């Protein structure tokens, strides 16, 4: 029997160092200075105008792009001054952009701008810049900026292309509608919790219908929906969320949204730190560790904590490694929530067997070779080998068996399975830390696997998969070799 420990709050890690502080300037109606008439300077002038700035361009010669831009600015006016810049031109400016040919000119421009107290950027000369322009995804008023601090602009452009594909252009209309509705919502007399629920309703609708134009009656419809919830809008809730086997990229979009809307996150030891990075920074994170054969929080304590937090109006995310519904005690936690009248929702995750098999490109079922796959636990609630395993199904050569948490019971399990008909030459693999950077794989005949696992003692949660389809891994790597850090 494992010793118990109490749920404990974790201290949020400090933010990692920033190469640049992302700041969005309000330039509507303010003045901006641009020195130079090159196409590159024209692009910066276009950005400033699009943000609402009145742009004064100082250049003796201007490109066709700059001339056309001045005739048709996207928003704020662009005035061309056919001369070089002067120190007095910076007075009253909010920002200054220099299209300078050499370092000497750049140095003079920067010195004059800073003397006037104006933030300055010199095109393509990062060391002279107080701020930089990143790659932009424009769904205004939803605007995303991407910066690599000048190290890899092409990388930023590639990320921008990905984000452009992920964010439908219709989001701009919903973001604009949200800006219009905000004053009315404040006057609607809703509590903070109900207002937050309103924005969740709006966001969910926008995600499902991004290209639909927000209608005049949408605000009242969403408001009525929240008011119709009554006390439920004020009540807390619980979401059981699958964190997957370890790789943060295997999180579902729904899991990410849950983490970003949580007030409190209760997580297990098996949840990797990279997954918690998806949570909003304001969320309180509490370790309610449950680790086999190590001090663990009692399930009753976790249930009580979860219910009490939800009763106090908190949105609780119970974050579990793998899938909550597979050896995750989800049934007990769902029952505790329902008994207390707490709304509970489940967000499935990729279970360890799926993640490990996918990383190794090993199918769990295959026509003509396996008819089924089964998941079994390697230990009972008391830590010993479960007494009620179906040994006949485990010995079935047409079955792939995934054994969860068998670290201390594998020898006993294999020994008994061999006496009940399991072929000792059946291919098997043990995977430690499935899908993580330090994933370790041991491929071996099932009769030899417990000895190999004990000898090599790999770090991380252990999963064992047994069945003829594991032979592909044995042929690939040899039964006598351990493969660590498997390539993705």
Active site residues: 268, 290
Q: Note whether 105 and 128 are within 8 A (CB).
A: no
| Placement of tokens 């597979």 in the chain | 326
Q: Closest Cα partner for 223 from 181, 273, 284?
A: 181
Other CB atoms within a 10 A radius of the CB of residue 74 amount to: 14
Any idea what the Cα angle at residue 450 is, between residues 448 and 456, rounded to 5°? 100
Q: Which two tokens stand for residue 49?
A: 């105008």
CA dihedral over 98, 102, 105, 111, signed as positive or negative? positive
Which of 73, 66, 87, 79 is closest to 31 using CA atoms? 79
Residue closest to 283 by CA, chosen among 259, 318, 319: 259
CB atoms within 10 A of CB 279: 22
DSSP assignment of 370-408 equals BSEEEEEESS-TTSS--TT--HHHHH-TTEEEEEES-TT
Residue identified by tokens 């700035």 is: 53
Across 191-210, b (16+ Cβ under 10 Å) vs e yields: eebbbbbbbbbbeebbeeeb
Cα-atom radius of gyration of the chain, to the nearest Å?
A: 30
Phi, psi of 444 (to 5 degrees): -165, 160
For residue 345, CA distances in Å to 41, 197, 255 come to 53, 16, 11
- Which sign does the torsion angle of CA 49, 51, 52, 57 carry? negative
Q: Which residues contact 392 (CB under 8 A, 6 or more apart)?
A: 420, 421
Distance, in Å, from the CA atom of 440 to the CA atom of 435, rounded to the nearest integer, reads 9
Long-range contacts of 110-116 (CB under 8 A, 24+ apart): 112/85, 112/87, 113/33, 115/87, 115/90, 116/87, 116/90, 116/91
Do 74 and 49 contact (CB within 8 A), yes or no?
A: yes
Residue 366 burial by Cβ neighbours in a 10 Å radius (0-12, 13-18, 19+): middle
Residue 297 DSSP SS3: strand
């Amino acid at each position: 029997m494992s010793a118990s420990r109490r749920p404990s709050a974790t201290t949020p890690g400090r933010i990692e160092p920033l190469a640049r502080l992302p700041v969005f300037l309000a330039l509507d109606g303010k003045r901006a200075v641009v020195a130079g008439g090159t196409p590159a300077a024209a692009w910066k002038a276009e950005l400033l105008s699009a943000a609402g700035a009145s742009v004064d361009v100082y250049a003796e010669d201007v490109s066709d792009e700059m001339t056309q831009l001045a005739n048709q600015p996207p928003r704020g006016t662009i005035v061309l001054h056919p001369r070089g810049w002067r120190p007095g031109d910076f007075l009253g400016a909010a920002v200054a952009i220099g299209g300078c040919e050499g370092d000497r000119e750049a140095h003079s421009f920067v010195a004059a701008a800073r003397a006037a107290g104006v933030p300055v950027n010199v095109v393509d000369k990062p060391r002279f810049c107080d701020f930089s322009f990143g790659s932009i995804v424009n769904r205004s008023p939803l605007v995303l900026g991407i910066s690599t601090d000048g190290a890899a602009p092409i990388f930023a452009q590639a990320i921008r292309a990905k984000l452009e594909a992920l964010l439908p252009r219709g989001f701009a209309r919903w973001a604009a509608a949200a800006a219009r509705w905000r004053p009315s919502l404040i006057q609607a007399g809703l509590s903070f919790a109900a207002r937050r629920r309103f924005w969740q309703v709006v966001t969910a609708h926008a995600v499902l219908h991004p290209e639909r134009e927000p209608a005049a009656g949408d605000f009242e419809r969403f408001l009525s929906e929240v008011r119709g919830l009554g006390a439920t809008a004020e009540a807390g809730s619980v979401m059981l969320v699958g964190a997957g086997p370890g790789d943060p990229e295997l999180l579902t979009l729904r899991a990410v949204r849950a983490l970003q809307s949580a007030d409190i996150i209760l997580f297990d030891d098996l949840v990797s730190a990279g997954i918690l990075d998806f949570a909003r920074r304001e969320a309180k994170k509490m370790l309610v560790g449950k680790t086999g054969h190590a001090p663990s929080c009692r399930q009753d304590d976790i249930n009580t904590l979860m219910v009490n937090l939800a009763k106090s109006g908190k949105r609780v995310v119970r974050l579990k490694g793998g899938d909550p519904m597979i050896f995750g005690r989800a049934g007990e936690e769902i029952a505790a929530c329902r008994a207390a009248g707490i709304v509970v929702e489940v967000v499935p995750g990729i279970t360890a067997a799926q993640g490990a098999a996918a990383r190794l490109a090993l199918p769990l079922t295959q026509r003509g070779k396996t008819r089924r796959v089964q998941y079994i636990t390697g230990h009972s609630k008391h830590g010993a080998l479960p007494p009620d395993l179906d040994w006949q199904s485990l010995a079935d050569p047409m079955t792939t068996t995934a054994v969860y948490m068998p670290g201390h019971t594998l020898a006993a399990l294999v020994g008994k399975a061999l006496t009940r008909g399991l072929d000792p030459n059946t291919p098997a693999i043990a995977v430690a830390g499935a899908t993580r950077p330090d994933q370790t794989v041991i491929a071996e005949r099932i009769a030899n696997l417990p000895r190999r696992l004990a000898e090599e003692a790999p770090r991380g949660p252990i999963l064992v998969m047994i069945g003829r389809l594991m032979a592909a891994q044995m042929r690939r790597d040899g039964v006598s070799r351990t493969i660590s850090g498997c390539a993705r």
